[in-house]
Amino acid sequence: MLRSTFAVVERRAEHAVTFFYSHLFWNNPAMRELFPEDMRPQRDRLFAALTHVVTHLESPGLADYLGQLGRDHRRFLASPALYAAVGSSLLAAFAHAAGAAWSLEAEKAWTEAYGHVADLMLAGADEAAGAGEPAWWDADVVRHERYGEDLAVLTLRPRQHLPFLPGQYVSVSSLRVPRVWRTYSLADAPRPDGTVELHVSRIPGGAMSTALVDETGPGETLRLSAPGGGLTACTKPGGLRTYICAGTGWAPVKALLSEAARTEPELKGRLFVVARAKEYLYGRRDAERLRKHIGGLSVTYITSAPGHRKDQATERLLQALRACVHWPSHDVYLAGPPGFLTEVAEALVELGTDPYRIHHDTLQPVGRFTARPNTAAERLLGPPPPLWHNPGARAPREP
């Protein structure tokens, strides 16, 4: 029942989400202040989360996902009253979008399902609070370094200890862009002085990235969410591995290699650093330093040829990967823009890499909410891309 009604609603996703937020804010005016001015990214994330739940109903990891989601929502000061209001508006939006497909049985199923989801999210939030975890970490900017016009490296000192694993990310908020959170990878292993490093590439029209690159300076305070993400080291000692990164995807790879240099300096692996042009290889100095500390690490830098389009770098990377061997024996750690991840992961599988040994986080793109086909004819003539699911997510591997 949940899947069949959601399939109808999903075809009218934009309409359903618009109705949902209109209903929520009309009936709970004070809640509008909890959300950012630009609601487009929020709409994307809402349906991404709903789709994950519906497509993983029988997954043993669903409870953990929802607990983590509740933990993350503490930074929004989400209360039981907010969960109740969201549930009421969600059911109203589904009933409106589903039309004749909505029935008493569907309403009962979704009411029970949402109640279960809310209970698991609140339990995750209560567990984090009970463990003494703050809703967010205040972090002071101690250094701001520019690399060209579009990139900055920020060094922050959290006022409380921030526990994290190399390769994880945090969401970042700034008073310059109220109520907006954007995700950035932590670019080093835990340091003795407690500082953390963020690599920020300015995105055209991106309010947060522009604020962090152009306007933020030492002395300012940012907020950091609890760390998350699954791009963490999982290779057994002595195992072969390949690291591939593009753009600021160098940040989590640098973190993984920094930890490896400390714990496994004799590892055997290969690193591919991809940039659209030579001037964007901002991490080259750190990569060379890590190569000196890791005896068996080979490093290859790949850029587009001068005067060529920037996506030529990906084509040159794929050529270099095809020249390599032993892919079935390697764990691959992959970081970069979503399109880059998809293209490279597909190529790696074709080369013989076990899909379950390709590790990457896939973060939901923001600001790309598009209308979905409403009729069977529209869907037949122009099947929509799968916007609402995480293409990096995989079902648990069979034992």
7-20 per-position pLDDT tens digit? 999 888 888 988 99
Proportion of the chain above pLDDT 90, given as a percent: 68
Residue 277 — very low, low, confident or very high, per pLDDT cuts 50/70/90?
Answer: confident
**Averaged over 265-277, what is the pLDDT?**
93
Kindly state the average pLDDT of the residues 85-99: 94
Predicted model pTM: 0.82
Q: Is 307 left (phi over 0), alpha (psi -120 to 50) or beta?
A: left
**pLDDT (tens digit per residue) in 318-362:** 999 999 999 999 999 999 998 899 999 999 999 999 999 999 986
Cα Rg of the chain, angstroms: 22
pLDDT value, residue 370:
42
DSSP H or E run through 303: strand 296-303
The pLDDT tens digits for 362-397 are 654 444 444 444 444 444 444 444 333 333 333 333
Quote the pLDDT of residue 363.
Answer: 54
For the chain, the domains span: 2-130, 137-224, 240-368
Q: What angle do CA 141, 143, 144 make, to 5 degrees?
A: 100
Least confident of 47-51, 55-59, 116-120, 247-251: 47-51
Confidence band, pLDDT 50/70/90 cuts, at residue 310? low
Q: Residues 272, 244: contact at Cβ < 8 Å?
A: yes
What pLDDT is recorded for position 395?
Answer: 34
> Which CATH number applies to 240-368?
3.40.50.80
Q: What is the pLDDT of residue 308?
A: 67
- Domain 137-224 falls under CATH 2.40.30.10: yes
Mean pLDDT of the chain: 87
> Poorest-confidence range of 49-63, 89-103, 123-137, 376-390?
376-390
Window from 11-15, 83-87, 155-159 with minimum mean pLDDT = 11-15
What is the Cα 291 distance to its own chain's centre? 28
Residues 299, 305, 310, 311, Cα dihedral to 10°: -70
User: How far apart, in whole angstroms, are the C-alpha atoms of residue 190 and residue 255?
Assistant: 9
Q: Is 344 exposed, middle or buried (0-12, 13-18, 19+ CB in 10 A)?
A: buried
Q: In what order do the strands lie in the sheet with 296-303?
A: 296-303, 268-275, 240-246, 330-335, 358-359
Q: Looking up tokens 């996902």, which residue turns up?
A: 65
Q: Residue 305: pLDDT above 60?
A: yes
- Kindly report the CATH class assigned to 2-130: mainly alpha
What pLDDT score does 60 carry?
A: 87
Rounded CA separation 198/144 (Å): 10
